[in-house]
A and B are shown apart, each in its own frame.
Chain A
Amino acid sequence: MQERNLVRFLILIGVLLALLGSGDVSARWPTVSAQQLRAWLDAIDPPLILDVRGRADYRAGTIAGALDGGMDPRGYLADGNGGRLVLLLPEGADERVTDAWFARLANAGHRVWILEGGLAAWIEAGGTTEVPEFSYTRPGSVPFLIPRGLCEGGEPSQVFD
């Protein structure tokens, strides 16, 4: 009996070592699965999602509500309020880059997790993506109608840019 337990223990150690050796993300940095992230986003106080895959990828579709942090950790200045943050890394992200992001965000007071499997895992888990859009209203533009909707009325207002 005791021998079997010892064997199990050794196997466990072996597996852990193998994971560390392979540079697997989950062994070095805290991670969150796509499924878990979906649950987090339904909570009263969800984490901030920071997309650091770069402009083109961000614009092509990202997790709704994610910020585009750029690709250089030194160029990102966090909101001073800290809080939980989930990092959306590019596929096959470099370890040094990941370390740099972690240091940068931890220094800004964030508790950081990496999204396991990135956007692909998110989509596979049934998560939706969104193409960000930043249109704004030009003041004084030609007035047109904003009806009251269900009240079926009409009020002048402004145009989308």
Chain B
Amino acid sequence: MMSFPGLVNYPGIVWKRACHLLQRVSAAREGRPRKGLRRPSAGGNTPAYMVTPLLVAVLFIAPLPAWGGTGYPGDETAPCGDCHPRQQAEFQRSHMAMAARAPAFLEEWRRKGRPDTCFACHAPSRGAGVACTDCHGTAGHPYPRLSLPAVCAPCHDAPGELTLRSFRDSPAARRGEDCLSCHLPGEGFSHDFRGPKRRGFLQGIATLTIAFRREPAGDTALLRIRHRAGHALPGGTTGRAVWLLVEQRDAGGRVVAERQYRFGWLHSSTAGWRENSLPPGVGKVVEVPLHEAAGVIRAKLIYRFRAGGLDRADPDQRVLVDETRPLAFRTVP
């Protein structure tokens, strides 16, 4: 077993969820069906598994002992999706459900000689990806309530990664938000976990402020990057990176100066790990000296999924911000 340092429970968050859950359970007890859950009740809506002749027979012959008064079905071996079709369908939309079938994963896994260790996170139950029981456990009904973000930590907090650690010290955490506020928006514990690969998820998450400072020694562009993620940007592993490309052109449109900044993790054999991601909240400032011939400056912020340099193709790459500013103040006599 691996060990994951710094696992912390958040009593406040757990409590909030607990209250939420209690309300929902009592709603269910009062006979109001829980959203997305097909309850095996008499009358009303028909349970999905009724179509299975075997179950119909079981229900017909011994309906009472099967429920035993607990409110849970007797057959713990049936696939979770039989009774929780909403969670099942929603979870299928998340990349987590297919984490061990993703082309990018398979490519890297094969290249590295198909190591078993990869599945500790990509498919602990050896299915196509993360499974229901990888989060909920195998204890069966009644399942213990999950505490956030501890339940995400085994896979999202590890050496070389700091999603959880940076979340703990983030404005989002201080505002009382948790992982689900952003990654599972909406009511009723949807299971449609969304990440940066989802269309539109990265829309508007970063902003760029561009100001200038004029001094006798020369002009400087002041760039401030800010983002809305509840943890460092990029969240997730070292492979992800955010690049800032700054380009200066002269009146004739020729590039006179160019700089690249990479935010994410780096590793060198001599210096070891180096973390350089964009912290949540306050953001990051970058100063760029202006070339004396520059008449326009362009700053572009790019989110990349693949490890490696900019020259490596990344079909999922997204431009977060693209701003151009004429340096009109320089031509004024």
A77-B212, A144-B267 are known contacts. Are A150 and B117 too (CB-CB below 8 A)? no
Evaluate contact between B309 and A156: CB separation under 8 angstroms. Answer: yes
A-B CB contacts (within 8 Å), total count: 146
| Residue B266 lies at the interface, judged by CB distance under 8 Å to chain A | yes
| Residue A15 lies at the interface, judged by CB distance under 8 Å to chain B | no
CB distance from A54 to the nearest CB of B (A): 11
**Cβ contacts A to B, 16 pairs, < 8 Å:** A46-B226, A46-B281, A46-B282, A67-B224, A69-B211, A75-B214, A78-B211, A136-B286, A144-B267, A146-B264, A146-B267, A148-B237, A150-B238, A151-B118, A152-B117, A157-B307
Evaluate contact between B285 and A65: CB separation under 8 angstroms. Answer: yes
Evaluate contact between B213 and A75: CB separation under 8 angstroms. Answer: yes
Give bound CA distance, A147 to B269, whole Å. Answer: 11
| Residue A139 lies at the interface, judged by CB distance under 8 Å to chain B | yes
Evaluate contact between A147 and B238: CB separation under 8 angstroms. Answer: yes
Chain B hits for A146, CB < 8 A: 238-239, 264-267, 307-308
Evaluate contact between B265 and A150: CB separation under 8 angstroms. Answer: no
Specify the chain B residue showing the minimal Cβ separation from A67.
Answer: B222
Evaluate contact between B171 and A153: CB separation under 8 angstroms. Answer: no
Report which residue of A63, A79, A150, A160 has the largest number of chain B beta carbons within 10 angstroms of its beta carbon: A150
Report which residue of A136, A137, A139 has the largest number of chain B beta carbons within 10 angstroms of its beta carbon: A137
Chain A hits for B222, CB < 8 A: 67-69
Interface string of A121-137 (1 = CB under 8 A from B): 00000000000101111
Given contacts A46-B282, A79-B210, A149-B239, 13 further A-B contacts (CB under 8 A): A43-B175, A46-B281, A69-B222, A76-B213, A81-B209, A139-B309, A139-B310, A146-B238, A147-B160, A150-B155, A150-B161, A150-B237, A155-B308
| Chain B residues numbered 104-142 whose CB sits less than 8 Å from any CB in chain A | 108, 112, 117-118, 121
6 residue pairs, one from A and one from B, having the closest CB atoms: A149-B160, A155-B307, A65-B282, A149-B238, A150-B158, A42-B171
Give bound CA distance, A74 to B216, whole Å. Answer: 12
| Residue A159 lies at the interface, judged by CB distance under 8 Å to chain B | yes
Give bound CA distance, A156 to B310, whole Å. Answer: 11
Chain A hits for B213, CB < 8 A: 68-70, 75-77
Evaluate contact between B285 and A153: CB separation under 8 angstroms. Answer: no
Give the total of B residues in contact with A, Cβ under 8 Å: 53
Give bound CA distance, A153 to B121, whole Å. Answer: 14
Give bound CA distance, A134 to B267, whole Å. Answer: 19
A146-B239, A147-B238, A158-B262 are known contacts. Are A67 and B285 too (CB-CB below 8 A)? yes
| Residue B274 lies at the interface, judged by CB distance under 8 Å to chain A | yes
